[in-house]
Structure 1
Amino acid sequence: MNLFLLGSIVLIFVVINAFLAFLGYRGTRNASDYLLAGRKAHPVIMALSYGATFISTAAIIGFGGAAAVYGMGILWLTFLNIFVGIFIAFVIFGKRTRKIGHNMDVHTFPEFIGKRFQSKFLHISSALLIFIAMPLYAGSVIIGGTQFITETLGINYDIALMFFVSIVSVYVIMGGLKGVMYADAFQGVVMFLGMFILLIFTYSQFGGVTEAHSSLSGLKERAVDIFGSSGHTGWTSMPRIGSVFWWQLVSTITIGVGIGVLAQPQLIVRFMTVKSNRELNRAVLVGGVFILMMVGVSFIVGALSNAYFEREVGKVSIEAVQNRTDNIIPMFINMAMPPWFTAIFMVTLLAAAMTTLCSQFHAMGSAFGRDFVELGLGIKTKSSVLTTKVAMIITILASTFLAWGLPQFFEQGSAIVAIGTAIFFGLCAATFLPLYVGALFSKRITKTGAKACFISGLLTSSFWITFIHIRESQPLGLCNALFGVDSLASSPWLQNVDPIVVALPVSTIFTIVFSLLSKPPNDRHLKEVFNGVK
């Protein structure tokens, strides 16, 4: 690795981001600017910011590594990311979110649902959930970037962690959402180019697309030998229906992340940054193409890495990295790509992580500073922006601590990045999605129904994570400490059913039932909320 080349590229990248953060700082004059970019974001900037926030090192490193284990079947997640995460999110959810948010003059997701259902409980509780739970997702993103820096430079993990977090922290605290979105758009372009080059170089390693996929198909027997009775049928086909691998791929990875994206607070707030529905329509194409390149390439490269490692070292990916799934993509890049591209890809990963982390830190900071302290508890501060910045610093420290501790907490071979991401996406879907849908599309969903949704989704998810879903219950250890087993479920397939598969239907049913049993919302309030909504 040419450290001078790497240092030069990273320095240029950081300087550009610092300049964009300064532009955001200079253009931030009030809370609306800091929290919603003044509600005047350009559709292309909004789309790139949304996509870059959506795609992080969790997708490239974590889920790229997962693709090396599960194979091309993970591309179903790409389909859901585009169809649900872009088309449905922008066209169906985004337009109503923008208009209703404008009618209520809200700036954050907790404030949105709090005012929509006229509930301080929902406002405060959702803010606390975001503040407490999102560091797990942020920590997973940090791990992905840190792992690549460690693998590439051969430096200590802790040193790489401090270096990585320091770069991200400076400009997100300074620039607010304007600075974040400016940087997101720039970093989105860097990410797109980096992944495009990676796709071309990967196929060139095999002599073309057909040859690459043929090589991977020829490893079917190796997959069956390595994974035994888990249901793996090769890296170019889906696992056997009903098997352990099938449940993990379908319920945790595909459904958990593919559906959970609709209820991501840091993404929902992007819809309120544009001034009209026209901007959202124009953003769909840009967002769709961006997501296709980001997740599609990382999943394809992850799966094809098996054929590369088998050819070069006589081992498939999971064997080559000694079961450390999150190291597969970094190792592939360092072995298969030219040195100059390794430097480019490091910047790509920095961009992927920074865009997501900045939005996460921004969402967590505003949830605690504005929603919990100021609006929830009614504590007036001298500066709303300053309070949010202080809260951001707290969440940065919490996320960094998790990024340091999680690799030691989970057993060797656990896909920590993918697991952390899936947990948070599933938790958001179970607690927020039914009430969010009700807030946008139904005048009959009541405050009581929304509370029932939040509580039932949170409790069911927490129980399933702690006592049933073995990927989390085993490392947590509480189930074993209380009952002497890693999971209360007796059958292997039930142990691998993701919490979202159970918790989301439960919270949906509770939302509907408790709404029907409670008094309908105030007509005057509903008229104000849905004024002009089509």
Structure 2
Amino acid sequence: MELAFSGWSGILILLMYGLIMLGVGITTYLRNRNIHQSLDEYYLGGRGLGVMVLFFTFFATQYSGNTVIGYPPSAYRMGFEYLVSVPFFIMIIMAYLLFAPRLYSLGKKYKLVTPAQWFEKRFKSKAVTILAALLMLYGLGNYLLEQLVAIGQGVSGLTGGTIPYQVGVIFFVIIMVIYGWLGGMRSVAYTDTMQGIALLFGVFMLLIGSIVYFGGLPTSADYMQAYSPEKLGVPDGPGVVNWFSLLVLIGIGAAVYPHAIQRIFAAKNERTLKRSFSRMAWMPFLTAGVVFIIGIIGINAFPGLSTGESEQLVGMMASAVASQHVVFYWAMVLLFGGVIAAIVSTADSVLLTFSSIISNDLYGTYINPEASQHKKLLVGKLVGLVAVGILILVAWFPPGTLYQIFVLKFELLIQIAPGLILGLYWNRLHSKAVFAGMLTGTIIASVMTIFDYSLLGVANGLWGLLINLGVCVIGSLVVSVSVGEEKEAKQVIGM
């Protein structure tokens, strides 16, 4: 009997995982009904996430639809040049270690809920806080769009086209909204643990099946040598420069994801945070490395795919492997169930942080400071719902490949890094210099991206970041800081 992911089998898989996610949300709601009254409980899980749950929720944040669904197609199109995707994730861990432990201790001290609150506490500048919040909202909106596109492509690939791309997006958005409104951070973290285990097992089984049935790397290398020799080559000088700039851009940009920073705040203690990071250090090889190999094997397994067709490569390979043996069939059930659950829980996490910035930093701080926590939560949820509706319209006909969407958001999000990281250690960092640097970097990165202008092969966002950093440092050295301001900064950061 031939087993394949198509028709009702794929639909039943999706329904099963959708019901599991809803069940987790309902259970979490019934056990923690006070999440609808407390910002700490709803957005940070009561600041009590342990090592295992914190590890998997970090894992799901870093390795979601853009990795398992989006990275193999990029490896398929680029060949061995895309090996750079593994160091991307190593850079993220290195960037975390620059600031995460210190930010955690200050977040706990001042009971911070969002990263924008750190800007308000450190610089006491409405302009800096609002600009940082807007950049974070842009990055989150972009990331949420990426997850919606990944949902549609994953569902379409899993069901062999039985469920259209758009229907898959709508179905899981409804699941996500219900689940997010009910459970908050706790249900997101619990679901992350469930899908993380399924995801890791399924990815390794897909790798084993691909090697068994498609011939592995040697076969793909022979095929590329005969038909696509350019995919075997190493990049030239400009290509290496571009590699390096993307490493820095994505390494720092992903580390300052607002929803990742909220997970830093949600850790039970600093030791828990560090132990979670020590486990995360292995994941670039066990996840990004594995999906890279899968993409390379796909060059031989499904030759000649167009860019659009290659975006569904993982679904095609999983269906082919699942049809060979019942063991691989059920392994692919776990894989794609885990993939869809990962995408939805990541999207829900992004939406949660998006809502927290709206409710706590913009509405609660500047529009209605007297609002109760319950009202802040309600406003955040409603605005988040409107944002999801707008992004569904965009995702209906996605503007580019997952990789292009993935890179785009870092161009602007990374501009918050100088103020965030330098502000933790340098008490002379001036709020006016931070604002000027952040605004200048944003404008430069935006203009270069809009007009498709590239300089020396360096990513546009990195040019913006370098100028941003220069303005911050030079401006803070030139602009005098009063004794009172310096003393106040020392009290905030403890240095």
- For 1:129, give the aligned amino acid: L
CA–CA separation in structure 2 for the residues paired with 1:329 and 1:2:
14
CA–CA separation in structure 1 for the residues paired with 2:295 and 2:242:
17
Aligned residue for 1:436, secondary structure, equals helix
In structure 2, do the counterparts of structure 1 residues 523 and 513 end up closer, same or farther at CA, with 3 Å as the change threshold?
closer
- For 2:234, give the aligned amino acid: M
Alignment partner of 1:289 out of 275, 282, 285: 282
Aligned residue for 1:205, secondary structure, equals helix
- For 2:473, give the aligned amino acid: I
Matched, 1:373 2:357: no
Matched, 1:306 2:299: yes
Matched, 1:95 2:101: yes
Aligned length: 476
Matched, 1:164 2:148: no
CA–CA separation in structure 2 for the residues paired with 1:298 and 1:262:
21
Could you tell me how far 1:519 is from its partner in structure 2?
2.9
Could you tell me how far 1:121 is from its partner in structure 2?
1.6
What residue is the counterpart of 2:326 in the other structure? Answer: none
- For 1:54, give the aligned amino acid: Q
CA–CA separation in structure 2 for the residues paired with 1:86 and 1:47:
12
Matched, 1:511 2:472: yes
CA–CA separation in structure 1 for the residues paired with 2:322 and 2:244:
31
Unaligned runs of 5+ in 1: 225-232, 310-315, 411-415, 470-488
What residue is the counterpart of 1:142 in the other structure? Answer: 148
Could you tell me how far 1:269 is from its partner in structure 2?
1.5
Unaligned runs of 5+ in 2: 324-328
Matches within 5 A, 1:60-459: 60-82=68-90, 84-89=91-96, 91-153=97-159, 154=161, 155-207=163-215, 212-213=217-218, 215-224=220-229, 233-235=230-232, 237-242=233-238, 249-252=243-246, 254-309=247-302, 316=303, 319-321=304-306, 323-338=308-323, 339-382=329-372, 383-407=375-399, 410=400, 416-429=401-414, 431-459=415-443
CA–CA separation in structure 2 for the residues paired with 1:7 and 1:234:
36
The C-alpha deviation readout for 1:299-344, integer Å capped at 9, x for no partner, is 11112210222xxxxxx3xx22465442232223233443544433
Asked if structure 2 preserves the Cα contact closer than 8 Å seen for 1:72 and 1:300, the reply is: no
What residue is the counterpart of 1:16 in the other structure? Answer: 20
Could you tell me how far 1:110 is from its partner in structure 2?
0.9
In structure 2, do the counterparts of structure 1 residues 454 and 302 end up closer, same or farther at CA, with 3 Å as the change threshold?
same
CA–CA separation in structure 2 for the residues paired with 1:8 and 1:156:
15
Could you tell me how far 1:348 is from its partner in structure 2?
2.1
Asked if structure 2 preserves the Cα contact closer than 8 Å seen for 1:58 and 1:140, the reply is: yes
CA–CA separation in structure 2 for the residues paired with 1:291 and 1:392:
31
- For 1:525, give the aligned amino acid: E
Could you tell me how far 1:271 is from its partner in structure 2?
0.9
The C-alpha deviation readout for 1:479-499, integer Å capped at 9, x for no partner, is xxxxxxxxxx6xxxx496421
Root-mean-square deviation (CA), in Å? 2.5
- For 1:242, give the aligned amino acid: P
Could you tell me how far 1:247 is from its partner in structure 2?
6.1
The C-alpha deviation readout for 1:355-405, integer Å capped at 9, x for no partner, is 321111011111112211111333543422212211221222122222113
CA–CA separation in structure 2 for the residues paired with 1:150 and 1:371:
38
Asked if structure 2 preserves the Cα contact closer than 8 Å seen for 1:42 and 1:274, the reply is: yes
In structure 2, do the counterparts of structure 1 residues 23 and 117 end up closer, same or farther at CA, with 3 Å as the change threshold?
farther
Aligned residue for 2:113, secondary structure, equals coil
The C-alpha deviation readout for 1:237-278, integer Å capped at 9, x for no partner, is 4223325xx5665544x4432332122111111111123221
Decide which moves more: 290-299 or 420-429. Answer: 290-299
Asked if structure 1 preserves the Cα contact closer than 8 Å seen for 2:201 and 2:331, the reply is: no
Asked if structure 1 preserves the Cα contact closer than 8 Å seen for 2:360 and 2:376, the reply is: yes
Decide which moves more: 257-266 or 454-463. Answer: 257-266
Asked if structure 1 preserves the Cα contact closer than 8 Å seen for 2:199 and 2:334, the reply is: no
- For 2:342, give the aligned amino acid: A
Aligned residue for 1:406, secondary structure, equals coil
CA–CA separation in structure 2 for the residues paired with 1:321 and 1:148:
17
- For 1:396, give the aligned amino acid: V
Could you tell me how far 1:96 is from its partner in structure 2?
0.5
Could you tell me how far 1:46 is from its partner in structure 2?
1.0
CA–CA separation in structure 2 for the residues paired with 1:40 and 1:451:
34
In structure 2, do the counterparts of structure 1 residues 404 and 495 end up closer, same or farther at CA, with 3 Å as the change threshold?
farther
Could you tell me how far 1:406 is from its partner in structure 2?
2.5
Could you tell me how far 1:171 is from its partner in structure 2?
0.7
In structure 2, do the counterparts of structure 1 residues 255 and 73 end up closer, same or farther at CA, with 3 Å as the change threshold?
farther
Aligned residue for 1:444, secondary structure, equals coil
Could you tell me how far 1:123 is from its partner in structure 2?
1.8
CA–CA separation in structure 1 for the residues paired with 2:432 and 2:55:
35
Aligned residue for 1:441, secondary structure, equals coil
What residue is the counterpart of 1:530 in the other structure? Answer: 493
CA–CA separation in structure 1 for the residues paired with 2:473 and 2:19:
51
CA–CA separation in structure 2 for the residues paired with 1:23 and 1:287:
28
CA–CA separation in structure 1 for the residues paired with 2:9 and 2:438:
50
The C-alpha deviation readout for 1:87-115, integer Å capped at 9, x for no partner, is 441x4321111011122321101111121
Asked if structure 1 preserves the Cα contact closer than 8 Å seen for 2:437 and 2:472, the reply is: yes
Matches within 5 A, 1:27-42: 27=32, 28=35, 29-42=37-50
CA–CA separation in structure 2 for the residues paired with 1:280 and 1:419:
31
